[in-house]
Chain A
Amino acid sequence: MSAPVRWRSTTFAYPGGPTVLDGVDLAVDEGDVVLVAGDSGSGKSTLLRSTNGLVPHTSGGRFSGDVMVGERSTRDNRPRDLADVVGFVHQDPEAQFVVDRVEHDLAFSLENLGVDGSTMRRRIEEVLDALGIAHLRHRSPGTLSGGEKQRCAIAGALAAGPAVLVLDEPTSMLDPQGADDVLAAVARLNDDLGTTVVMSEHRFERAAPLCTWSVLLDAGRVARCGPPADVLVDHPGAPPVTHLGRLLGWVPPPLTVRDARAHARRDPTLAGALGEARPGPGQGSGSGAGRGPETAGGSVLVRARGLAVAPGRQVVLSSVDLDVHEGEVVALLGRNGSGKTTLLRALAGLLDPRAGIVQRDAPVAYVPQDPGALLFAPTVRDEVMQTRRLLRRASPTAPGALPRRARRGRASRTVEPGAARADDAALVAAWLDRLGLQALAARHPRTLSTGERQRVAIAAVAVGGAPVLLLDEPTRGIDAASAAALERCILEHAGGAGAVVLATHDVELAARCATRVVVLGDGEVVADGPARTVLAGSLFAPQVLRVLPPFLTVAEVTSALATGAAAPARVAGTPGATAPARVAGPPGATAPARLDGTEPS
């Protein structure tokens, strides 16, 4: 049986650009689910787009070697000629719909392929069921949630009955619920129909367990390929439990929480090695995990009281009380539509409250979810510099102007009308460094990957020197290296007398860098407290906590191992056995309470 897709020494460079794919030799077996991993710019997207000939037919550029889909080469077949064998789904669920009705959009490719009417009807019923979207058939794609949109887009690619389904980061723009739905649908397709799936993902927590094969790309070459556990084990984007397993010497390293719990149960030396069952204080990640709002030393920078916001006619937030203190990293969690973005926009003064007040004692800057809304300059450095220029042009007497900070003795971060350009250049360079953008400084922001763009947007806003930074989904669709740079930057900013508020779906991010977690539900604050307390009581606790409570992050386990002494009985017991009970049980079971008592502040 021939492989559905085979790359033969494929080399490719975009017009006027460097080599992106460098002699790729790869074959995908029928019925496999292949995960293509790699850092930003390693050529993942290009590899996927070469499957149906979008590279090089749409992109242009230098192409050598060959990509065979079944018996057909992409050299002689345009993407539209391969539409019956390769289904392609883009990262952005918005930009894939042609028709304003879901079932008619599914029919689009069938109509193009000239399938007769009765076959068309049958195929559409089948894909509607295969993806579980039969109830959405009469809806308009514009009114669906992100996860629903992406499932409809996959159905649209699948309607023509392709042998291979190519998904380019299908979940990076989705919330966890939507991502789960999409991946579950993909797994079911593979099980039921035997469709071969090739997909790329930055975050492996969800995707890795369902993959049968994985490929790690590095600078356009296949660095490694094999079963996901072997290939991904030391990749920074691997799930936290994998890192934990590697740290504790579990073989094979686990990919799922369930595997990790089994290891933890079997590991007799674990309890002794972990020493005291409390996370070490002070290390970079989770550094302030025990500090609550009442113990945070800093003064209040932003204060919301009884805040209600109703943009349009619908009430999105009601009676929200929130204080943001100096030195805090506040993570806003909550499902889609719970009001996270609205709260950030209200705190930033972009929405007028319907009731209540927002009192800003320091300038507040906001980075929107889509960095594309911000970027206009021709180079990254220029983009970041623009903010400084804008601030110098701004009238210094405007209400809430930045110079207020000057009185607090932070001259280096303020804007004074006569400030020298050299200062600005140094500040810009510092932020580029901090976010790992120095190497990209001369590139056009629009040519960067999602993660890189996000970092540019954050640098461009943060360089203005506003002490309070509001970040909306800063880790959406970004790779592990970008996320790490971002986390360092967030901690550094909060440490330097600033405060950061993150709206995020990423519990791991919250576990690693938040000092405080606020959970929103239906426009109201349903939980507000130190990160450890709130996360421990949550059904969506971070992975490490679910395996080895009360540790939140791998870093905490590392430092516990380093300082390991006598083992208290509780952790020495069966963490695997207690964890499910705690996850299912009411918030604030014994462990968090005990922890708060012992946590040094």
Chain B
Amino acid sequence: MITSDRTDVPALHSLAWLAWALAAAASVQIAPSPLYVAVVVAVCLAVVMVHRRPEPAARAFPVLLGLATTFVAVRVVLTVLTVHGSGGAGVLVRLPQITLPRLLGGFAVGGAVSWSVAWQAAAEGLVVVGVMAAFGAFNAVASPHELLQRVPRAFHEPALVLSVALAFVPATMEAAAAVREADRARTAGQAVRRGRLVRQVVPVLETGLERAVHLAESMDARGFGRAAPAPGEQVAAWVGLAGTLSLGGALVALVGRASTVALLLGGAGLGCLALAVAFASVGWGRSPAYRRRATDRRDRLVALAALAAPVGLVVFDRLGDGSLRWRAALPLRPPTLHAGPVAALLLLAAPLLVAPGGNRGAAPGQEAGR
């Protein structure tokens, strides 16, 4: 019997990872001071380094961080151009001021750029980077399939489609690199800028499309979508439609300032949606999924430790710890770091205590050796 010490099973269950990511994102919101956000981002980086899955999908982490950073940079520039500080002291630079035409909002662009506005925008932007780091890390370490198995059945197929679509992101990144290289090699290393976008985008899109068609055929040949909808799913679809319509009605009522009607419709809509999920998930079932992974003690401990971090931060916030938030008010004071909140944030590093996937003594290793 061939045995292998290699598995690609993540060390922790996806639900534990989800709890961890939500805790990290929440911590960033509760303690948005740049130094605390930096601690969270560092913890996320360390977790990704230790627990990254071997698949290409996990390579998206730096891309997501880069994307968030770009977004923040753009945001800072736009904020600085459109928000005008109190003027006077702390002016970074004076730009020519233009007032936009009324059609475009009629506000002033440019003018005096103040330090405090720039710092404030950057600090707020860093929170976005922190949230992105938490979810990028989740994407890099957790198995989407384990999560998929836990999704209520009503959402199973849409979630499956979503997870398959996500798998195309790294494939596209690889295709793009190959195409860029092929383009360079075609002309024996001479760079031709003109028309480069077409030359590089068309093959990537076409390759992606071809692969999507192949995958669809393969899924079709393996019986995907074969089962006729169960009666419960049909009922769920109608109830879900009713719920969506009443939520729409509630919105109209809100706009029309009919708050009682809006409240009734909104309640009915939410109720219908909950019913739809229940109908679709309970009974009339297809078979159970194959070997659904159970959460074990380690998963629960890590999840609890991670969730304790935002709880701890809330406690410090209530106790009046002023270091959690930082305002770039004049005169500028640098953000501070207190030991208590840092200790709370370090609870997020609990996954680092768990050996990375594949070396798990228990379940998968034994399974393979049997």
Contacts known (A83-B222, A368-B182, A394-B192); A143 close to B290, Cβ less than 8 A? no
- Fill in one digit per residue for B188-203: 1 if any A CB lies within 8 Å of its CB, else 0: 1111101100110011
Total A residues in contact with B, Cβ cutoff 8 Å: 85
A142 pairs with B227, CB closer than 8 A: no
B221: min CB distance to chain A, Å: 4
B206 pairs with A109, CB closer than 8 A: no
A363 pairs with B189, CB closer than 8 A: yes
- Fill in one digit per residue for A415-453: 1 if any B CB lies within 8 Å of its CB, else 0: 000000000000000000000000000000010000000
Is A71 close to B, CB under 8 A? no
29 contacts between A and B (CB under 8 A): A83-B226, A104-B145, A107-B290, A111-B286, A112-B224, A113-B226, A135-B2, A135-B4, A135-B368, A140-B55, A142-B56, A157-B221, A350-B185, A365-B188, A368-B182, A370-B178, A373-B181, A374-B182, A374-B183, A374-B203, A375-B203, A376-B202, A387-B186, A390-B186, A391-B187, A398-B190, A400-B190, A446-B210, A464-B188
**Restricting to B39-65, which residues have a CB under 8 Å from any CB of A?**
53-57
Q: Which residue of B lies closest to A396 (CB)?
A: B190
Other-chain contact of B194, A393, A464, A466 (Cβ < 8 Å): A393
B190 pairs with A394, CB closer than 8 A: yes
A52 pairs with B3, CB closer than 8 A: no
Segment with Cβ contacts to B, from A84-92, A193-201, A592-600: A84-92
Chain B residues with Cβ under 8 A from A395's Cβ? 190
B310: min CB distance to chain A, Å: 29
**Restricting to B210-253, which residues have a CB under 8 Å from any CB of A?**
210-211, 214-227
Chain B residues with Cβ under 8 A from A80's Cβ? 220-226
B12: min CB distance to chain A, Å: 15
Q: Which residue of B lies closest to A394 (CB)?
A: B190
Give the A-B contact count at a CB cut-off of 8 A: 224
B170: min CB distance to chain A, Å: 8
Contacts known (A137-B367, A398-B191); A95 close to B55, Cβ less than 8 A? no
A103 pairs with B368, CB closer than 8 A: no
A136 pairs with B4, CB closer than 8 A: yes
For the complex, what is the distance from the CA of A507 to the CA of B211, rounded to whole Å? 30
Q: Which residue of B lies closest to A132 (CB)?
A: B2
For the complex, what is the distance from the CA of A83 to the CA of B218, rounded to whole Å? 10
Interface size class of B (residues with CB under 8 A): 35 or more
The chain B residues found within 8 Å of chain A, CB to CB, are: 1-4, 6-9, 53-57, 143-145, 160, 164, 167, 171, 175, 178-179, 181-192, 194-195, 198-199, 202-203, 206-207, 210-211, 214-227, 286-291, 364, 367-368
Is A58 close to B, CB under 8 A? yes
Chain A residues with Cβ under 8 A from B290's Cβ? 103-104, 107, 110-111, 117, 120-121, 124
Contacts known (A114-B287, A464-B186); A95 close to B145, Cβ less than 8 A? no
- Fill in one digit per residue for A384-404: 1 if any B CB lies within 8 Å of its CB, else 0: 001100110111001111100
B286 pairs with A365, CB closer than 8 A: no
For the complex, what is the distance from the CA of A399 to the CA of B187, rounded to whole Å? 12
B59: min CB distance to chain A, Å: 10
For the complex, what is the distance from the CA of A153 to the CA of B219, rounded to whole Å? 11
- A-B pairs, top 5 by smallest CB distance, nearest first, are A83-B223, A138-B7, A107-B290, A366-B185, A112-B223
For the complex, what is the distance from the CA of A376 to the CA of B182, rounded to whole Å? 12
B9 pairs with A138, CB closer than 8 A: yes
Chain A residues with Cβ under 8 A from B286's Cβ? 111, 114
For the complex, what is the distance from the CA of A399 to the CA of B287, rounded to whole Å? 65
B186 pairs with A400, CB closer than 8 A: no
A446 pairs with B223, CB closer than 8 A: no
Residue among B178, B222, B226 with most chain A CB within 10 A: B222
Contacts known (A88-B221, A104-B145, A376-B203); A115 close to B214, Cβ less than 8 A? no
For the complex, what is the distance from the CA of A79 to the CA of B144, rounded to whole Å? 27
Is A202 close to B, CB under 8 A? no
For the complex, what is the distance from the CA of A399 to the CA of B188, rounded to whole Å? 10
Is A94 close to B, CB under 8 A? yes
B107: min CB distance to chain A, Å: 43
For the complex, what is the distance from the CA of A83 to the CA of B227, rounded to whole Å? 11
A96 pairs with B215, CB closer than 8 A: yes
Contacts known (A117-B288, A143-B54, A373-B181); A138 close to B8, Cβ less than 8 A? yes
Q: Which residue of B lies closest to A365 (CB)?
A: B188
Chain A residues with Cβ under 8 A from B184's Cβ? 350
B181 pairs with A350, CB closer than 8 A: yes
Contacts known (A114-B227, A120-B287, A393-B192); A139 close to B6, Cβ less than 8 A? yes
The chain A residues found within 8 Å of chain B, CB to CB, are: 52, 54, 58, 78-81, 83-84, 86-88, 90, 92, 94-96, 98-101, 103-104, 107-117, 120-121, 124, 132, 134-140, 142-143, 153, 156-157, 160, 345, 348-350, 363-368, 370, 372-376, 386-387, 390-391, 393-395, 398-402, 446, 460-461, 464, 466, 470
For the complex, what is the distance from the CA of A366 to the CA of B171, rounded to whole Å? 22
B144 pairs with A368, CB closer than 8 A: no
B54 pairs with A84, CB closer than 8 A: no
Contacts known (A95-B214, A140-B55, A395-B190); A58 close to B222, Cβ less than 8 A? no
A54 pairs with B188, CB closer than 8 A: no
A58 pairs with B217, CB closer than 8 A: yes
Chain B residues with Cβ under 8 A from A135's Cβ? 2-4, 368
Chain B residues with Cβ under 8 A from A364's Cβ? 188-189
B190 pairs with A94, CB closer than 8 A: no
B186 pairs with A446, CB closer than 8 A: no
For the complex, what is the distance from the CA of A150 to the CA of B123, rounded to whole Å? 50
Chain B residues with Cβ under 8 A from A373's Cβ? 175, 178-179, 181-182, 203, 207
B220 pairs with A368, CB closer than 8 A: no
A98 pairs with B160, CB closer than 8 A: yes
Contacts known (A95-B211, A368-B185); A88 close to B226, Cβ less than 8 A? no
Chain A residues with Cβ under 8 A from B53's Cβ? 140
Chain A residues with Cβ under 8 A from B7's Cβ? 138-139
For the complex, what is the distance from the CA of A460 to the CA of B164, rounded to whole Å? 34
Q: Which residue of A lies closest to B215 (CB)?
A: A95
For the complex, what is the distance from the CA of A368 to the CA of B289, rounded to whole Å? 41
Residue among B143, B225, B287, B291 with most chain A CB within 10 A: B287
For the complex, what is the distance from the CA of A394 to the CA of B219, rounded to whole Å? 45
Known: A92-B214, A101-B9, A390-B192. 20 other contacts (CB 8 A): A90-B217, A94-B171, A100-B167, A103-B290, A103-B291, A111-B286, A112-B225, A113-B226, A114-B287, A124-B290, A137-B367, A142-B54, A142-B56, A348-B189, A363-B188, A367-B185, A368-B185, A374-B183, A400-B188, A464-B187
Contacts known (A79-B220, A103-B290); A90 close to B203, Cβ less than 8 A? no
